[in-house]
Structures are given as C-alpha cells and as structure tokens.
Structure 1
Amino acid sequence: MTLLAAREIVSRAVARDVAAVRARLGIIAPRVGGARIWLHAASNGELASARPVIDRLIADGRHMLITVNTDSAVALGQSWGLAQTQVMLAPVDLPGPTRRVMRRWQITAHITLEADLWPVRILNTPGPVLVLGGRLTERSAKGWARFAVLVRRVLAQVRFLSAQDAGSATRFAALGLAPEARGPVVDLKALYSPPEGAPDVGLSRAFPRHDTWLAASTHDGDEAAVLAAHRAALATRPGLKLILAPRHPKRADAVAELIAAAGFTCARRSSGDDPAGAQVYLADTLGEMHLWYALAGVTFVAGSWTDRGGHTPYEPAAFGSAILHGADIANFRAAYARLAEQGAARLVADASGLAEALNALSAPDVQVQLGQAGQRALHQDTDIDGLMQAILAVLDA
C-alpha cells in the first residue's frame, strides 16, 4: 500500500468518525427544510421490518428522518435511496442532542420500533409518539417496574402502541399504557417481503439449492461450531456447500481466519472471489441476505447458541428455506413457538446436532416440505392497510 493510499484510508475513517460524533450530538443539519416524522430502528432487522410502513408513509407524502444505532443499519437505509428521507445515527438520549434534532429537523411525530423506547426522546416529542411491534419481555417488565413513575410518564406520551405479541401487550398495559393507545398485536417482521433481485447465474450455478446451506447472521462463538458441523456433514454429503453470513461484516477478516484454520478453502463476496470451487463462501456484505436465502435449501438461524436471543425466522421462511435454530430464541419466542407447534423448524443444540440435521435434510423434497411448513406457520393475516389507517389517523389527529 502506498503512503498516499494509506493517508486516504485514514482520512476517510476520520471523516466517518467525525460524522458519527456529530450525529450522536444532534448537530447534523438537514439538507432541505420541512417538517418530518422521526422513525427510529435499533439495527438492520428492525429497520428492514419497518420498510412496508416507511414506504407507505413516503407514498402518503411524508418526509422522514430515520435514525438507527449502528453503522451497518445506516448503510442499509441509505442503500434504499428513498425519496424524502434521510438516514443517520441516532443522537444520544440526552436533552441537548435530542432537542437539537427535534428543532433542526422540525420533528412533528416520533415512531419507534420494538424495544427501543428512549425516555428523553419520547418526553420531548412535540407531536404524537407511536410504538410499532412493541416488545417487552417479562425480565424487562420487572426492570421497568422499578422506575414506575418514569415509565408511567413515558407511556402516557404514547398515543399508539401495536405490540409484537400478546404477552408484550399485557405487560405494557400493566405498566400504565392507556387503553385508548393500545393497537392490535402485529409482528412487523411478519410483513417482510423479499426485495427485488435474484442471484445471478454464476451464483445459482455455484450453489445448487438442495446442496447448499446458510449460516445466517452468525456471531463470535457461532462460526467455530458451524464449521465443525459442516466438516461432519461433508463426510456424508461431500458436495455440500456452506454460505456463511456474519451478522457484522466488519468481523469478516476474523471469520476468514477461522475458515482457513479449519482447513477449508474460502471465497469472499466482498472481494468478488469466484465461489465455484470454494468449500465455504463468506457472505461479508450488507443488504444481500435475500440472495443467500434464495440459494439455500436449509438455513441455520444463528445467534441462538450464544445468549443473543436469536434472529428472525421470517426471512428464511419467506424463501421456503428449511429452518434450523438453537435454543436461545427469546427475541422471536412467539414466532418460534408457532414453528414448533407445527413441526416447521428443527432445534439443534450444538455442532453435532446441526450436522445430523443437515444430513437428515439431504433430500430435496424433505427440504421443500419443511420450508413450506415454515411459510404456513409464520403466515400472519396482518392487514397492512388497516395498520396504516390507524397510524395515519394518529399522525393527523
């Protein structure tokens, strides 16, 4: 690397850091004026789940500020190229940064998703506050109860809350959510629809669906077990292909080292490597998960072995990919309960269990049956039109 190239890399990194600090302090000014709705999503999954609502609001002529907590979610939101919308990191939940955002961006309402209820933000919103897909676990509810006065003040500002599941709805009500603010139970992630774009011919040829499995959204601690399972399954299915998609692409170098240490050849999506001859394909990019679900006959939903609560089963189900998962599924308990009731997913406790499941699902028709069962189990008769009518009624009141 030349000195000039190194300086350019450092300069860009500094510029990103400065922009992040400015966003966190609420001192970024909008490019154009006008009133906006402030929608907040924690990270990629929450932001993607809100896409149908965001699209409807834009179609209704609303201008929006979208904030998120991670750089990867900023990149995802910006990649959509939405009109009338700007995406940036969320300000810290302190009076100064919050009020700057409210003032500079002319905020008229605030929509927040799932469990990201920030007191200062909610209490300072000049217009209605809405919570979509509100999630409140028993453990969180007990913690909130210790701050009963503050929680009641915060919930008093919420004009509309659509809980993710019946248990969350009950817990919000017990903590003081007004009856008139209680909306229908709606899991936004059930509204997921695959984005446009299919795998290109090269990818489709490299990854025959019935001989390809995906480890989706892996974390530190997942990959070693995934690679061990792949090695064990290869003894029975020598043509089996693995697509390994880390939750955070910035970990890609470390994951590549694990793959090499395990003795596998590796191709990386970010480098444009040819996947045809590689034993493991490292999907280390953002915004392309739909490609990997489309290619994989079987998906192991990661984050379910490592005390992270698991990740969404809705996206692999939308593609008819047979679902495997670990025991830690707290983030999507209701969805996985429906899958379990209908025998539409398989619980795997460790690498050995994962390898056994991969071998048991070697036949294409077995994969298809389990994938279709997952689609049926997670189908939700959510009326997006009815939900949007309720949202717009609150915004326009």
Structure 2
Amino acid sequence: MTAYRFLTYIFALPVLIALVWRVSRRSESWVHLRQRLGGGAPVEGALWLHAASNGELTSARALIETLLAENPERRVLVTTNTVSAQDLAVGWGDPRIIARLAPLDHALGLRGFLRRHKPHALLIVENELWPNRIALARRRGIPVIVIGARMSQRSAARWAKLSLARQIMAQITAVSAQDAESEARFVELGLAESRLLPRINLKTAPQARSAAPLGWPRASTILAASTHEGEDAPVLEAFARAHAARPELRLILAPRHPRRSAEIATLIARTGLRHATRSMGDPPDVEVYLADTLGEMDNWYASAGLCFIGGSLVDKGGHTPFEPAAHHCAILHGPYVSNFTAAYGALDAQGGAILCRNAAGLAEAMRDLGVAEQTQMAQAARDALGPPEDLERLTEAMRRWL
C-alpha cells in the first residue's frame, strides 16, 4: 500500500497537468477540475455511490431508487469518472441524488472529500477498486460495499500479482458478486467468505425502461451493441448480405466509443447502405442507424429483437449477455467471451445464443432468425441465465451498514 501511495504522489503532477489541459480545451470546466481534486459543496451524511460511467450508473438506477424508497429522507451522493455520466445522473431530476465527478485516487484529495461530505457508506458498482479510496474510507470507519462485483479471470490474474491485493480485500466490508465465478475469485484474492452478500447482476435487475425511440418493427431490427474497432466492418458486411435477402431488416449500430462515429460512418458509406446519425438528430428512415451517443443503450436493446454483443469478434472478452437477455433479445456473439465464460457457455448450450465466428456466420443468423426463432432464443436465454435477482434481498442484507 505504501508503494502504491508513493506512486500516486509521483504521478500527481502529470495528471494535474492533463486535467488543466482538458479545461483549457473546454472539454471540462474548472468546476469539474475542482471536483476531481476532492472539492465541491458539501453533501454531508449521504450514501456515497460510485459508478464508473454511463453503463454502470444506468444499471445502478434501480438500486438507487430502492434505497431512496426505503428512506425518503436519504440522499445519495453519486460520483462518476465521466462528465457524461454525471450529466446522466443530473438528468434524472431527483433532488435527493447529487452528482459529482469522482475524486482522483490520491490521499490529499480523498481526505478533503471525506472530511467535507462525511458519507455514511461507500457503495462501489462493479469493479472500481481504487486502493486509496477504499483504505481511507475504512480508516474513517465508513463501510465499503462492492455491488454487482465482476472479476474476470484476466483481472484476477493481474490482481494476484499485486502485493496489495490482500490488503484491499481485507478492507472491503462486503461484496455482492455478479456470479459464482467472480465470487470465487474475490475469495481467492483474500476476501473472507463471511463478507459475501447475495449475488446480483444490476444489469438484470428491473429498471424503469424507456420507450423504444425508433418505431421500427422489433423482429426485423438488429442491434450491434458496444462494438469495438475491428468489429464494425464485419458487422456491416454481414448486415449488407442479410439485407439483400431481407430488405425489411434494419440495423442499429451502437459503438462502445462514440468518438469513432466518423470512421464508422465512412465504413457504412462503403456498403452503399443509407444511414442516419443519432447525435445529429437525423430521422431514422434508413437501413442503418448510427447510435453514437452515451446513456441510451437501454433504448436500443428495447428496439431490437436480435442483438450482436460487441467485444467478442475481437479479443476484448465480450460484453455482458445479461442486459440483452433481460430485454428478451436473441443473442449473437463472437468467439472472445472470457469476461463471461460461464454465462455464454450456458447460453450456447441451451440455445439462448449463437456463436458467429465471422461475417459469414453473422449474415446467416441475421438472415434466418425470424420472429419465432427470436422468441424461442430469448426465452432460452432467460432460462439459461436465471431470473432477475431480487434487489430487496440485497438491500436487506446491507441494512446494518446503511
């Protein structure tokens, strides 16, 4: 822990310069910089909930609403790593939810943050395990609870090489893992089994669903969700082949990083298909809808009967299958699914998903899976992954700390 803290002091100046550079380029404001350094108006006595970005925060919304419903006087201080996620929380319009950018994992800023806000507990969504944040919170007697924790085999191997892994696990008050595999890896890294809470995957918990915005027939709408560089071209090639056989098909292409919008638009143009761009406000009367915004993935899942999960045609480990399954989507994926090996194994074995190794395989699935096949696969996916977990059961287990 001492070595880690020493490194944060060494890199403090370069990080500060980078943050000031963002302000100078107007990608962030001085208010944002102050928040990253632990400043901002005090929000004393709230629950502190940290979620990295839009996806994690969106998945935590049902949990936040459950906690607020339990105690109408409760307030939740939400911190995020990105301005867009902060804006998302503000956009919910609940005065009991106060949004800030997360303080950097540096002792000086964190001490000021904790002294200013005096949170009752720290709830960490998924896998934002910052050593200083956890250690300093526990030093002040603040419970640290990790909710929907995910620990892939790759991440566990990296943590195992760090001498501070067991120190961090000893300081975590409790963990609610996403699945049995993540749970076992936390224990292997040093978490006491007595500190395990009921498992939950927040992305399968009931959410307040938005209406699908496009108005396209769901059975003929395909979503390519959270695609990475190297996946868009084969997805578009596959869709172009399927569309030639079934002209009623439509594609929503939602890249993991919206900043890649321009290069993806160029790839779409090469296929000869017409496209509209969400960020430009274009009307969706086209074959391909480029969903280059953040915080709207829930809408796209609600719009599509068939979904390709990104990060699986290239070696990124694959994104979660739980969210599309919760939306009753038929699931397609590539061969790289190490982040959710057990889940994809169960899906493939029970007919809830189809492994597509290349553009040809994707094209065949897009062409052949009609409404009956999609309905059957969606039910098989829900059977394979199990029913959504009960938030009340988790909040009951956390009550003694809240």
- TM-score > 0.5, shorter chain as reference: yes
- Once the two structures are TM-superposed, the CA of residue 392 in structure 1 deviates from its matched residue by 1.6
- Once the two structures are TM-superposed, the CA of residue 249 in structure 1 deviates from its matched residue by 2.6
The equivalent residue for 1:263 is 272
Q: Structure 1: give runs of 5+ residues left out of the alignment.
A: 1-9
The equivalent residue for 2:87 is 75
Percent identity over paired residues? 47
- Once the two structures are TM-superposed, the CA of residue 93 in structure 1 deviates from its matched residue by 0.8
The equivalent residue for 1:159 is 173
- Once the two structures are TM-superposed, the CA of residue 165 in structure 1 deviates from its matched residue by 1.9
Residue by residue, what CA displacement relative to the aligned partner does 1:261-317 show, whole Å, maximum 9, x if unpaired? Answer: 3322111222222222x2211122333323322222211111212222222222222
Task: Give the one of 369, 387, 390 matched to 2:397.
Answer: 390
1:94-109 correspondence runs (5 A): 94-109=106-121
The equivalent residue for 1:321 is 329
Assess, with a 3 A threshold, how the Cα gap between structure 1 residues 209 and 171 changes in structure 2: closer, same or farther: closer
The equivalent residue for 2:8 is none
Q: Is residue 365 from structure 1 mapped to residue 372 from structure 2 by the alignment?
A: yes
- Once the two structures are TM-superposed, the CA of residue 233 in structure 1 deviates from its matched residue by 1.3
Q: Which amino acid aligns with 1:301?
A: I
Q: In 2, Cα distance between the equivalents of 1:78 and 1:121?
A: 23
Residue by residue, what CA displacement relative to the aligned partner does 1:124-143 show, whole Å, maximum 9, x if unpaired? Answer: 11211111122223333333
Assess, with a 3 A threshold, how the Cα gap between structure 1 residues 374 and 122 changes in structure 2: closer, same or farther: same
Q: In 1, Cα distance between the equivalents of 2:84 and 2:325?
A: 23
Q: In 2, Cα distance between the equivalents of 1:287 and 1:175?
A: 33
Q: Which amino acid aligns with 1:372?
A: Q
Q: In 2, Cα distance between the equivalents of 1:309 and 1:214?
A: 19
Q: In 2, Cα distance between the equivalents of 1:104 and 1:253?
A: 42
The equivalent residue for 2:308 is 300
Whether the 8 Å CA contact 2:121–2:401 is kept in 1: the answer is no
TM-score, normalised to structure 1, is 0.87
Secondary structure at 2:28's aligned position in 1? helix
Whether the 8 Å CA contact 1:129–1:159 is kept in 2: the answer is yes
Whether the 8 Å CA contact 1:159–1:394 is kept in 2: the answer is no
- Once the two structures are TM-superposed, the CA of residue 329 in structure 1 deviates from its matched residue by 1.9
Residue by residue, what CA displacement relative to the aligned partner does 1:171-226 show, whole Å, maximum 9, x if unpaired? Answer: 22233223331222322222143x343235xx32xx22222211112222221111
The equivalent residue for 1:3 is none
The equivalent residue for 2:225 is 216
Q: In 2, Cα distance between the equivalents of 1:265 and 1:381?
A: 38
- Once the two structures are TM-superposed, the CA of residue 371 in structure 1 deviates from its matched residue by 1.9
- Once the two structures are TM-superposed, the CA of residue 89 in structure 1 deviates from its matched residue by 2.5
The equivalent residue for 1:286 is 294
Q: In 1, Cα distance between the equivalents of 2:157 and 2:27?
A: 42
Q: Structure 2: give runs of 5+ residues left out of the alignment.
A: 1-21
Secondary structure at 1:226's aligned position in 2? helix
Q: Which amino acid aligns with 2:265?
A: A
Assess, with a 3 A threshold, how the Cα gap between structure 1 residues 308 and 21 changes in structure 2: closer, same or farther: farther
Assess, with a 3 A threshold, how the Cα gap between structure 1 residues 53 and 174 changes in structure 2: closer, same or farther: same
- The number of residue pairs the alignment matches comes to 376
Task: Give the one of 7, 29, 37 matched to 2:47.
Answer: 37
- Once the two structures are TM-superposed, the CA of residue 15 in structure 1 deviates from its matched residue by 6.8
The equivalent residue for 2:145 is 130
Q: Which amino acid aligns with 2:149?
A: G
The equivalent residue for 2:201 is 187
Q: In 1, Cα distance between the equivalents of 2:263 and 2:388?
A: 42
Assess, with a 3 A threshold, how the Cα gap between structure 1 residues 38 and 371 changes in structure 2: closer, same or farther: same
Assess, with a 3 A threshold, how the Cα gap between structure 1 residues 313 and 170 changes in structure 2: closer, same or farther: closer
- Once the two structures are TM-superposed, the CA of residue 13 in structure 1 deviates from its matched residue by 5.8
1:3-152 correspondence runs (5 A): 14=26, 16-30=28-42, 33-59=43-69, 60=71, 61-125=73-137, 126=140, 127-148=142-163, 150-152=164-166
1:231-242 correspondence runs (5 A): 231-242=240-251
Whether the 8 Å CA contact 2:236–2:268 is kept in 1: the answer is yes
Q: Which amino acid aligns with 2:257?
A: H
Q: In 1, Cα distance between the equivalents of 2:388 and 2:270?
A: 46
Whether the 8 Å CA contact 1:192–1:314 is kept in 2: the answer is no
Q: Which amino acid aligns with 2:81?
A: N
Q: In 2, Cα distance between the equivalents of 1:347 and 1:211?
A: 20
The equivalent residue for 1:197 is 210
- Once the two structures are TM-superposed, the CA of residue 34 in structure 1 deviates from its matched residue by 2.4
Whether the 8 Å CA contact 1:192–1:315 is kept in 2: the answer is no
Secondary structure at 2:312's aligned position in 1? coil
Pick which of 42-51 and 12-21 moved more.
12-21
- Once the two structures are TM-superposed, the CA of residue 12 in structure 1 deviates from its matched residue by 10
Residue by residue, what CA displacement relative to the aligned partner does 1:230-279 show, whole Å, maximum 9, x if unpaired? Answer: 11112321222111112233332332222223322111222222222x22
Q: In 1, Cα distance between the equivalents of 2:355 and 2:246?
A: 21
Secondary structure at 1:274's aligned position in 2? coil
Q: Which amino acid aligns with 2:391?
A: I
- Once the two structures are TM-superposed, the CA of residue 92 in structure 1 deviates from its matched residue by 1.6
Whether the 8 Å CA contact 1:189–1:314 is kept in 2: the answer is yes
Whether the 8 Å CA contact 2:153–2:339 is kept in 1: the answer is no
The equivalent residue for 1:351 is 359
Assess, with a 3 A threshold, how the Cα gap between structure 1 residues 394 and 67 changes in structure 2: closer, same or farther: same
- Once the two structures are TM-superposed, the CA of residue 11 in structure 1 deviates from its matched residue by 9.5
The two structures, once aligned, show a CA RMSD in angstroms of: 2.3
Q: Is residue 338 from structure 1 mapped to residue 341 from structure 2 by the alignment?
A: no
Q: In 2, Cα distance between the equivalents of 1:187 and 1:293?
A: 17
